[in-house]
Every structure is written in structure tokens, then in C-alpha cells.
Amino acid sequence: MELLKERIRRDGTVKGSDVLKVDSFLNHQMDVALFEEIGKEFLRRFDGCGVNKILTIEASGIGIACVTAQFFHCPAVFAKKSQTKNIAGQVYTTKVESFTHGRVYDVIVSAKFLGPGDKVLIIDDFLANGAALEGLIDLVNQSGAELAGAGVVIEKAFQPGGDRLRARGIRVESLARVKAMSEENGVEFVD
């Protein structure tokens, strides 16, 4: 998605060898006009797949998931990172290691909102080692829902997550695939 790559080149900042800061438009301040273009592109790629539910994980996936859900005319569900008082009843649960936060989260989704008959598109802002997506796929499998695939805004293609998921037969659509990045040379994309 050229518009997105241009935006990453212009406003993204590389820190060290593996942090790409896109907090001015993607995951802290959110450019919702860009999100609309992202949602349209996910629809173009997954149109006709029968998607009736968008699944993401809090927090930075939520905005993109909601705007994408507008194009699919379906609800979005976000998996929660810890048990709260306000989730009662049956839940599906999995564990996800966050490398950003340096900890392991219990991630849960209520069984009321995911189950047989659902065709699920997973949406997230980043794909690097794949831990978050693998956790969400585990939740979909536990629920008996069918997985249409995963839509990712930025994939760090030099990390193993995307390849590992594709090797499992999962359809992963990334709108910008970063081949390499450095503070000196910025971001280089996979063609």
C-alpha cells in the first residue's frame, strides 16, 4: 500500500535496529483518514471471504479494527489483556508474550462474541515475532470459529512471525512489509 509506505518513510522513526516508531499516525496519535484507506485496502484483499467479525487485541489494534469493521459492515471484538471484574461467564483464554512491554499477558475473549458460524478477520497494527497473532488465532480455534486470515498494517519481515504463520497455511496480508531498517538508512520495504 503505497500511501502507507510513504507515510512511514515520512513520519516513521527508527530507533536502534528493531524499533519503528509510528506513534504520530498509527498507535498513539491516530490518523483516522489514513485508517479509512487501510480499512478499504483490507476490504479489497478480503472481499468475498464472508468475514462477519473483526478480532483484534487491545490497545493499539482497536482503532484500526473499528474503522476496518465499518467497511466490512460487521462488529469488531477486542481481546483483553487481563481478567477484569466486568467479564463474567465463559471465556476463551491464551497467553501472549509482549516484547514491547517485557511481560506475558493472559489474553481473553468472551465466548459470547466468538463461536461456530463466525468467519473472523484478525487485525493488528504490527507483526514482528507473531506472538499476538498466534494468541488471537488460538482464541479463534478454541471458539470453533473459522479464520479468514490476518490483516496487518506493518510487518517486520526481517523477524520470523510472518513466515511462521504463512508456513502454517494462514493467510497473512501485510500492507507494508519492512525488509530492513536502521537509524542511518531509514526503512526499506519488501517490493
Q: Summarize as ranges the residues that interact with its own copies (CB under 8 A).
A: 15, 19, 21, 23-25, 28-33, 35-36, 58-59, 62-63, 65-67, 69-70, 73, 75-78, 80, 82, 84-88, 100-102, 109-110, 112-113
Instruction: CB nearer to its own copies: give 11 or 164.
Output: 11
Instruction: CB nearer to its own copies: give 15 or 166.
Output: 15
CB of 188 to its own copies, least distance (A): 21
Instruction: CB nearer to its own copies: give 63 or 170.
Output: 63
Instruction: CB nearer to its own copies: give 67 or 150.
Output: 67
CB of 139 to its own copies, least distance (A): 13
CB of 33 to its own copies, least distance (A): 8
Rounded Cα distance between 96 and 74, Å, is 26
- Judge whether 104 and 96 are in contact, CB under 8 Å: yes
Nearest in space to 14 (alpha carbons), one of 4, 22, 2, 6: 22
Rounded Cα distance between 122 and 125, Å, is 10
CB of 78 to its own copies, least distance (A): 7
Instruction: CB nearer to its own copies: give 78 or 170.
Output: 78
CB of 105 to its own copies, least distance (A): 12
Rounded Cα distance between 42 and 75, Å, is 15
Burial of 58 (0-12, 13-18, 19+ CB in 10 A): middle
Nearest in space to 22 (alpha carbons), one of 30, 12, 32: 12
Rounded Cα distance between 143 and 117, Å, is 10
Rounded Cα distance between 98 and 134, Å, is 12
